[in-house]
Amino acid sequence: MGLLRRAARRILNTVLDNAPHVPAGPPTQGAVPPKPAVKGPDMSNIECGPQELKERLDAGEQVTVLDVREPQETSGGIIPGAVVIPLGQLEQRWTEVKDANEVVVYCALGARSLQAAGFLREQGVFNATSMDGGIVGWTDIGGTTVPQGD
């Protein structure tokens, strides 16, 4: 047992000897204060699932659905009632959805919509979320699409 204790003590001393020294107590005069954390938009709850969105729309909730796919992608159909603003135009056109009670953004699979929801939150649209899985997830759960303009 003594041999194990000596080995453990040597290992502990080696670790402690190699650890950086952190002085105790308040910082001394002239110390650089820590930089304040940069506060960006809250990105919690930035995603919702297609089933959740479908249930909310079926229940008649007022949700603005935003499609950020390109025109060649939307020709196959959009979620009924969706506002279509391609991601490349969102920076110029985001004010079209700024007053919506809630905005759920979708694309083909979910990557661009996550980017778009983050951008909208940076602009102050704090109720913007991204639909995980995009239009593919929507149709997989039985969501319907309509031709754009209907």
Under 8 Å between Cβ of 53 and 65 = yes
Average pLDDT over residues 21-33: 52
Under 8 Å between Cβ of 127 and 98 = no
Output the pTM of the full model: 0.71
User: Residue 99, Cα to own-chain centre: how many angstroms?
Assistant: 20
Kindly state the tokens that stand for 26. Answer: 């308040």
Residue of 67 and 28 predicted with greater confidence: 67
**Predicted pLDDT of residue 99:** 95
Domains of the chain: 47-140 (3.40.250.10)
Is the pLDDT at 65 greater than 60? The verdict is yes
> Which run of H or of E encompasses 48?
strand 47-48
| First CA to last CA distance, the chain | 81
**Which residues are the active-site residues?**
107
